[in-house]
Structure 1
Amino acid sequence: MDLPVMPPVRPMLAKAVKGIPDPDKHGGLAFEPKWDGFRCLLFKDGDEVELASRNTKPLTRYFPELVAAAREQLPERCVLDGEIFVAIGDRLEFEVLQERIHPAESRITKLAEETPASFVAFDLLALGDESFVDRPFAERRTALEDALTGLDGPCFLTRVTTDPAEAEGWFEQFEGAGLDGVVAKPLTAPYTQNGRTMLKIKHARTADVVLAGFREHKTSTPELPLVGSLLLGLYDDQGQLQHIGVSASFTAQRRAELFEELQPLVVDIADHPWGAWQEFLVANPGRVPGTQSRWSQGKDLSFTPLRPERVLEVSYDHMEGRRFRHTAHFQRWRPDRDPESCGYDQLEEPVSYDLARVLESDR
């Protein structure tokens, strides 16, 4: 492989902002849907195709169907920045995408047929013998549109608009198809590796959840015990407390205070709602806390169970099935709430939206 831009490449990043930004304050902005998948740098030189993650790790072997599609659909020699996703019906499914990272070749081949992935391109780093990294995004986007005309899957070109009102509509509508928000790119900015040049606008919501346990921080010692993360739960329709995610990001002082504050709630696992799960050795779709999965090999996931008597309010951005997609952020304790009143019915459901309409790209 011999391209104007060669791996490893660290992709351009985005910093979070609240609300759709004013293009005039940034010298002009282009808005795109924020895809919820694996960030991917795609390198193609003839029949040679390499896929790399945002931290430069190889993804090529896990997505043979995308390698074949790139050979057929993409320009002879190019370097693209984009996202790998898996769609089931009219929604993106990140949990299904995660299952594609598997060590067994036979499993990879099977999943490539059963849950094929797609690649959506949203930036151009090189085309033919030319590097585009130093060119402004407006030029990169024009060249990208010219190079990727007529794609209809599994390789796609993302939609783009310079109209903030249209971007606002995307932000509200596209979540129903499993997307994660909106990205804004300065029209005059070059492609800056590992630089937070872009802006991201993500959904933010709050929920009242039950405190069910905690894990100790990696720096915790018997002399100075520290809480690392709080394990959170919600009650389902059958009255069972389900694991919905964790809350973390506390100061060192607050970690120590929490450890002392929560000691009166410590209970034996046999007397805890999750006691029946202690027999599991592998997490069952991420819903069994304190157990191993292939995503957590080597990590200490043991936890201290707590009587589910305290309620806290957390902020979150996105759901992944029945769980928070990312770590939730502690907001405040809610002593006025009964734990049994904290159910899934409080979570906001996004309006349904057809993924095929999101993938419609026009100039």
Structure 2
Amino acid sequence: MTSPAARDRGNLHYPVEPMIATAVDEIPTGPGWAYQPKWDGWRCLGWVREARVQLQTRAGKPIGAAFPDVTRALRATLPPGVVVDGELLVWDSARERSSFSLLQRRAAAGRHVLRMARQYPAHFVAFDLLATPDESLLPAPLAERFALLEQLLAGAPAPIVLCPQTDDLAVAREWAETWPSTGIEGLVCKRLDQGYRLGRGGWRKYRVRTTAEQIIGGVTGWTSAPQTILVGQFDARGRLRYTGRSTPLTDEQRAELGPLLERPVAQRRGVPVRHPWPQPLPASWSGSWERPEPLRYVQVEPAVVAEVLVDAAFEHARYRHRVRFVRPRRDLSVYDVPLIGVDD
């Protein structure tokens, strides 16, 4: 006869879809909320087995072979049967912050994986516990799961880090305000009394955003009714460098921007004008590990400045996440927008 513990673990089979966080514009407040930093890394679940440790991405892809330093540390720290949720990070000591690009290099190291692991060690920041050797913790409240996780990680080696958690809103706001310089993107907000819901929502993610001025160099859709904008900044050589793409514009924003984007780049006095960005936009320019298809777009004269909301994920002179268009800055010239470093 199957034991109760075995029945409890019946719905935990590698891989699983982890619990999802929904984006919000305000930090949820009130009794029963807990707050954790939102890390700039890869969501990762660790499955500790008798003979090995398996790592899976949010999409269920195995990545353990690329991170032997993490699998070794998890195996040395946790007993077989534990399933832990967390984030993979690589720390850039020169910049004193986490580095998404170094994380990508680790994942693509191939036969150089051991050398890359020594050069750029990875860390697993554990923030939730799905199972112990005896039972599934999916129905258990977060307060219980996190307390057990804290016990399991007592004395863990350097590659394994317990994620900070607080129920003090003032502390959480301080994290959101002071930690973005280290690569923290904001907060993940969770109910202390809520169970772990595989593949379903329930958590909230709050990204810290600041405003920036950017130059519109292209659009998807039509210039008269743009769907999204592609933005950039001039470098010291006077070349417009691509920095990112916006989230979809609202009807009101499309109507406001359309008349300002007078014409696409085509000709000037009968002479073709060479736009500085390729057509289509290369998939690699998005900065995403799960690369999308190349993006076809309409190139426009770089004459309009846009105020946008951006987050802390800015690396190699590009915003890795979509920016949010706020308004056109008719009062600014494109030459008022700060230059971007050639070697950023």
Which residue in 1 is equivalent to 2:273?
271
Paired residues of 1:43 and 1:79 also in contact (CA < 8 A): yes
SS at match of 1:61: helix
Choose the corresponding residue for 1:96, options 91, 99, 102.
102
1:71-110 to 2 correspondences below 5 Å: 71-89=75-93, 90-102=96-108, 105-110=110-115
Asked if 1:308 corresponds to 2:302, the answer is yes
Percent of matched pairs sharing the same residue: 35
- Give the distance between the partners of 1:162 and 1:302, measured in 2 at CA: 46
Q: Name the structure 1 match of 2:147.
A: 142
Aligned position for 1:59: 63
Contact 1:318/1:326 (8 A) holds in 2: no
TM-score (structure 2 length as normaliser): 0.83
Larger mean CA deviation between 172-181 and 243-252 belongs to: 243-252
Structure 1 distance, partners of 2:290, 2:197, is 32
Looking at structure 2, the residues matched to 58 and 330 of structure 1 have their Cα atoms a distance apart, in angstroms, of 36
- Distance (whole Å) between structure 1 residues aligned to residue 166 and residue 27 of structure 2: 13
After superposition, the CA RMSD in angstroms is 3.0
Identify if the C-alpha distance between structure 1 residues 344 and 199 changes in structure 2 by more than 3 Å, giving closer, same or farther: farther
Deviations 1:45-80 (A, max 9, x none): 123211111121222222122122222222332000
Letter aligned with residue 29 of structure 2: D
Is 1:291 aligned to residue 300 of structure 2? no
Amino acid at match of 2:19: M
Q: Which residue matches 1:13? A: 20
User: Where do 5+ consecutive residues of structure 1 fail to align?
Assistant: 218-224, 279-287, 346-363
Q: Report the equivalent of 2:323.
A: 328
2: CA distance, partners of 1:257 / 1:101 = 43
TM-fit CA distance, 1:325: 2.5
The match for 2:47 among 43, 48, 51 is 43
Gaps spanning 5+ residues in structure 2: where?
A: 1-5
Aligned amino acid, residue 303 of structure 2: E
Change (3 A) 1:176 1:248: closer
Supply the AA of the counterpart residue of 1:315. L
Q: Is the 8 A contact 1:213 1:231 kept in 2?
A: yes
For 2:237 and 2:274, how far apart are their aligned partners in 1? 17
Residues 113/226 of structure 1: CA separation in 2 closer, same or farther (3 Å cut): farther
TM-score with structure 1 length normalisation?
A: 0.79
The correspondence of residues 167-182 of structure 1 with structure 2, limited to 5 A, is: 167-182=172-187
**What's the offset of the Cα at 1:147?**
1.1
Could you tell me whether the CA contact under 8 Å between 2:77 and 2:157 is conserved in 1? no
1:296 offset after TM fit, Å? 7.6
Q: Which amino acid aligns with 1:327?
A: R
Q: Secondary structure at the match of 2:129?
A: strand
Query: 2: CA distance between counterparts of 1:58 and 1:75?
Result: 20
The reply to whether residue 33 of structure 1 matches residue 37 of structure 2 is yes
Code of the residue aligned with 2:127 in structure 1: it is F
Q: What amino acid maps onto 2:22 in structure 1?
A: K
Q: Any idea what SS the aligned residue of 2:203 has?
A: strand
Distance in 2 between the 1:251 and 1:85 partners?
35
**Distance 1:204-1:295 versus aligned 2 partners, 3 A rule:** closer
2 CA distance for matches of 1:342 and 1:40? 38
Structure 2 counterpart SS, 1:65: helix
CA pair 299-228 structure 1, distance change in 2 beyond 3 A: farther
Question: CA deviation digits over 1:275-307, x for unaligned, max 9?
Answer: xx65xxxxxxxxx98235395868233443322
Residue in structure 2 matched with residue 207 of structure 1 by the alignment: 212
Q: Is the 8 A contact 1:75 1:148 kept in 2?
A: no
Structure 2 equivalent of residue 337 of structure 1: 332
Write the letter of the residue equivalent to 1:13. I
Deviation for aligned residue 1:256: 10
User: Once the 2 structures are TM-superposed, how far is the Cα of residue 264 of structure 1 from its aligned partner?
Assistant: 1.5
Secondary structure at 1:196's aligned position in 2? Answer: coil
Counterpart position of 2:248: 249
Number of aligned positions between the proteins:
322
Structure 2 partner of 1:70? 74
- Contact 2:18-2:58 at 8 Å conserved across structures: yes
Instruction: Flag the 1:49–1:256 CA change in 2: closer, same or farther, 3 A.
Output: farther
> Structure 1's 199 and 157: CA in aligned 2 closer, same or farther, altered over 3 A?
same
Stretch of structure 1 that moved more, 313-322 or 331-340? 313-322
Amino acid at match of 1:300: P
* Aligned CA distance change for structure 1 residues 297 and 316 (closer, same or farther; 3 Å): closer
